[in-house]
Structure 1
Amino acid sequence: MNSKLKKEVGIIRSFNRYYTNVLGLLDQHILESDFTLSEVRVLHEIEKTEDCTSKKLAEILCMDSGYLSRILKQFQKYGLIEKRQSPEDGRSQFLYLTQNGQEKMDALNTRSDEQIYNLIQPLSEESQAKLVLNMASIENVLTEGKNIKPEDITIRHTIKPGDAGYITYMHGWIYKHEYNYTTAFEGYVAQSFFEFLLNYNANRDRLWIAEHNCEIIGCIGIVGRGDRAQLRWFLLHPNYRGLGLGKRLLNESLDFCREKGYKAVYLDTTQDLEKAIGMYTKAGFGKVGEKENHTWADHLMELEFEIKLEKPE
């Protein structure tokens, strides 16, 4: 293990020890209840998991099936859970909380909420937001976005201080990581936002910003250029691709252009952005020009696409 990785491991272990102690996870019983941490996790998953089976529980909790079976038998004995036969498959049995079990979980959830409230209540609103954002980021990074739900993503088009700077930063690290672009590309994006913010007109321009847990994870922009509009800054964080968000942003931007009466929309891209080009062509864009660009990377070809628009009925 190299020194850098060893240091990172040490920081993570230190945080784990701290937060475990804060929540009292080493106590024999959790939240002043009669349950252990493992038992509370089982009850929680039965409460929130649709069509919950013992097999599904074992997979979700990464728990030994024999150990889980003993917990479930104990819960049945004390009337906390019940099993019901699946109407579609008589061999499957779904797990549900009984009324007694639900009352126990309601009490545990209330105590847990109070515990977290007491933890964050002394903090400033800014610190609270930062804490929640960082915790959500930990989960997103470790799961590579697998637990993200599209309905939890919001899109706004009000521009807040810091938006342009953060989106410029996103362009810099994503294009460096995925296409090995130089910092000259980040400078190009920064310059484009400088011009956009100086000349911004809500009647002809718009910037859509996608957020998840108050963190910017994608964007697209429209800049009015006479009777044509330029599409710019179309970007998604890698963890949020494949959710239909890119298509949604593109469609909203084109709908805006039709509403404003633009006759056409054009954009500049490069030949290595194959997935984006696929989305553009599927939406009706066609290539109208190309030129070499060696500023951001070697052997780069800059492409211009355009789509003619019809006025909405």
Structure 2
Amino acid sequence: MNTNHIPLVRGIRRFNRFYTNMLGLLDKHMLNSDFSLSEARVLYEIGQIDDCTSKKLIEELKIDPGYLSRIIKNFEKQGLTYRIKSTEDGRLYHLYLTDQGREILTKLEESSDQQIYQMIVQLQGDNQNELLEGMQRIENALSGESIASGDKFNIRTELRPGDVGYLIHLHGWIYAEECSYNHVFEGYVCKTFYDFFQNYDSQKDRFWFAEVNGKIVGAIAIVGHADKKAQLRWFILHPKFRGMSFGNRLLNEAIQYCGEKGYHNVFLETTEDQRTAIKMYMKKGFRKVAEHKNQTWGKDLVEQTYELNLL
């Protein structure tokens, strides 16, 4: 091993020891249950993977086939899983959770959520966001899905068929996953795009799409209004590509465009739980000018309006 890498290797091992201790992963059983970490993960993946097979589990978990076989047989004896032979390939069996298996998985998930909540509840909002962003940066750096030296990143402004449909999907998925917004929010996003395209004008409105290898990973838009006002809308970035300055580049592009078009004022609407985005806005000079309560998206929220004067 190159001696230059020794401090990095030791630092990563130190973090691994710290985090495994925090989660209690060295204990024989997970979350005061009868399951080991490996068993709990296999149970989770069977419940998550479509048309789950042993082969898919081995590929996903990098687990020894013999060890996996013993886990699955034990699950079947306990009545947690069952298998059905594939109609397309008689050598394959699809794995499914029984009702009892789903009930146990739900309890494990709830216990895991509570464990993480207890870890972060004492942190201030900014520290919570920094913790999440740090973890996302680690995931991006170590996973094959993060941008690598050979990947191609670009920002395009051309609006293509399917772009808006994908942005609606991103909003619905990310805000449900990270903020627990309900289906009403996704309907709201659909309506904002419908209303927008009733008066779309490429001379005053513009989209920016961040792409990696031709796939959209983020976007932002400017909607022109009367009286030299512009609205910043639909600013979003896939979680796997955060912490790479993509969001900052999109925001800079949008603000620069507003200056070039002669807009005097830029405003945006967000919710108070979007702390990371709000911090970015305020660094660019945006200031909060209004707020009101919103209870229509499945939780109590405070919607906020921010403005940036360009004169």
Runs of 4 or more above 6 Å deviation? 13-16, 139-142
Gaps of 5+ in 1: 17-138
Equivalences for residues 213-292 of structure 1 within 5 A? 213-226=213-226, 227-292=228-293
Query: Which stretches in structure 2 are left out of the alignment for 5+ residues?
Result: 1-41, 61-138
Q: Structure 1: how far apart are the matches of 2:183 and 2:172?
A: 7
1:242-266 residue CA offsets vs partner (Å, 9 max, x unmatched) = 1111110001001101111111000
1:14/1:151 CA distance change after superposition, 3 Å: closer
Q: Which residue type is aligned with residue 187 of structure 1?
A: G
Q: Which structure is larger by alpha-carbon Rg, 1 or 2?
A: 1
> Which residue of structure 2 lines up, in the alignment, with residue 4 of structure 1?
47
Distance verdict in 2 for CA 1:242–1:14, change over 3 Å: closer
Mapped contact 1:150–1:243 kept (Cα < 8 A): no
Aligned to 1:211: 211
The answer for the alignment partner of 1:27 in structure 2 is none
CA distance in 1, matches of 2:175, 2:141: 19
Tell me, in whole angstroms, the C-alpha distance in 2 between the residues paired with 1:152 and 1:248: 15
Any idea what the Cα deviations from partners look like across 1:73-122, whole Å, max 9, x if unmatched? xxxxxxxxxxxxxxxxxxxxxxxxxxxxxxxxxxxxxxxxxxxxxxxxxx
Give the distance between the partners of 1:144 and 1:225, measured in 2 at CA.
42
Question: In structure 2, do the counterparts of structure 1 residues 12 and 283 end up closer, same or farther at CA, with 3 Å as the change threshold?
Answer: same
Please report how far the alpha carbon of residue 298 of structure 1 lies from its aligned counterpart in structure 2 after TM superposition.
1.8
SS in 2 for 1:8: coil
CA contact (8 A) 1:156 1:210 kept: yes
CA distance in 1, matches of 2:236, 2:52: 29
Match of 2:299 in 1: 298
Deviation, structure 1 residue 232: 0.3
CA contact (8 A) 1:247 1:279 kept: yes
Shift in CA distance, 147/230, structure 1 to aligned 2, threshold 3 Å? closer
2:229 matches 1:185: no
- Cα deviations by residue, 1:242-296 (Å, 9 ceiling, x for unpaired): 1111110001001101111111000000000000000000000000000001111
Residue in 1 that maps onto 2:174: 174
TM-score (norm 1): 0.55
Contact 1:221 1:234 in 2 (8 A): yes
Could you say what the CA RMSD is over the residues aligned between the two structures, in angstroms?
Answer: 2.6
